[in-house]
Structure 1
Amino acid sequence: MSLVLWIAVRILFILALLAYIDDSFSHDTAMHLAYYAPYDDWFPPKQVLLLKLWDFIGLPHEKDKQEFGRSLVITGILVDPSSMTLTLPPESISALVAAIRDFLSAPTRRRPLVEWWRKLGWMNWALNVAPLLRPALSSAYDKIAGLSVRNAPVFINAQIKRDWSWFADTIEGWDGVHILRARNWRPSDAHLTFYCDASLEMMGYCYSIPLRRARNH
């Protein structure tokens, strides 16, 4: 694929052409579409030029995979240049949230280790567009650390249930990564502030409890 891209960019001058494994994508500022006879359909000019290159070198392709539009799903991520956002398609979010809640609702509160791996992999993929949800996975990784028997049942404790429920509830309304104004949490948004220090022998953490909260306890 690298050689094909080189030919497309250097010989045919299809500029700004990118690829991920076997998926090629780019943008086209042309105000018109071009006709591609083998598919009896119209596509952006750069896309037609690339299809003709593939035909010339005998690289197979399918019409169903030749997509274009104002927004596209690229490697599972919905890229919207108009709003400058990277999000997950609504159906992908719904499927992930349903899978998490189904996982947490096990009658015995035990799930095979292989299911933990699968769910964590799926949730990790979602972090591409929701990086601030990363802390919700820490307790699960601690839970399965060192385990290797695929079908061994692993208990779902209260901490993981809280963390994963928060993940599912939050990502349902998540509006993705805004390319021009990537969001950060400010110190004032935190419920607790931890202080840490390290030496060659150990690490230490501490946090303060608000006076009002301390009186209640």
Structure 2
Amino acid sequence: PKNQVQLLVLWDAIGCPWEEKKQALGEKLKIIGFWVDINWGTITLSDYSVADIVSKIELFIETPLRRPPLCNWQHLAGHLNWLLNVLPWGQPTLTEMYQKMSGHAGIYLNKEIIVEMNWLIDIIPKSMGV
């Protein structure tokens, strides 16, 4: 498009770096792992990403002895934070998880965590996207 070309010419003139492969064009674009549909005004995850995050949650809550290592808590929290960009109403489900990682509580899976994670497993495939 003409406007995009003009912008890139300006960037060249002022020495601002850009990469041709990142100059995407279309009605549906993948941006940092999210699908952005400009016609519908939605941001969603791919089916693969949804299945992957659900699988990660399931593996986490099935940890033997219900005591995942701290690094597993942190990895899952990172994935869920990323997911919550397109599922903002799921944010309260991380409250208990962050309390567990704060150092003020033991790092074991309790009923609250399991209930919250099962809720996410159920809701993610049904309501993905904003």
1:35-50 alignment, distance < 5 Å: 44-50=1-7
The equivalent of 2:27 in structure 1 is 70
The equivalent of 2:53 in structure 1 is 96
Deviation at 1:56, TM superposition (A): 2.7
The equivalent of 1:173 in structure 2 is 126
CA distance in 2, matches of 1:124, 1:101: 17
Deviation at 1:171, TM superposition (A): 0.7
For the pair 1:154 / 2:107, whether they are aligned, the reply is yes
CA distance in 1, matches of 2:2, 2:118: 46
Q: How many residues align?
A: 130
Identical columns (%): 40
Secondary structure of the residue aligned to 1:154 is coil
What is the RMSD of the two structures over their aligned residues, measured on CA atoms? 2.4
Higher-Rg structure is: 1
For the pair 1:122 / 2:84, whether they are aligned, the reply is no
Q: Runs of 4+ in structure 1 displaced over 6 angstroms? A: none
Q: 2:9 aligns with which of 52, 55, 62?
A: 52
Secondary structure of the residue aligned to 2:127 is coil
Deviation at 1:63, TM superposition (A): 2.7
**Contact kept in structure 2, 1:73 and 1:89, CA below 8 Å:** no
Secondary structure of the residue aligned to 2:107 is strand
Secondary structure of the residue aligned to 1:155 is coil
Q: Deviations over 1:14-46 (max 9, x none)?
A: xxxxxxxxxxxxxxxxxxxxxxxxxxxxxx222
CA distance in 2, matches of 1:95, 1:172: 11
Per the normalisation by structure 1, the TM-score is: 0.52
CA distance in 1, matches of 2:53, 2:122: 11
Q: Structure 2, unaligned stretches of length 5 or more?
A: none
Which fold has the larger relative contact order, with Cα–Cα distance below 8 Å and residues 6 or more apart in sequence? 2
CA distance in 2, matches of 1:117, 1:70: 35
Structure with more of its chain in strand, by fraction: 1
Per the normalisation by structure 2, the TM-score is: 0.81
CA distance in 1, matches of 2:102, 2:18: 43
Secondary structure of the residue aligned to 1:79 is strand
Deviation at 1:114, TM superposition (A): 2.3
Q: 2:66 aligns with which of 105, 109, 114?
A: 109
Structure with more of its chain in helix, by fraction: 2
Deviation at 1:70, TM superposition (A): 0.3
Deviation at 1:57, TM superposition (A): 3.2
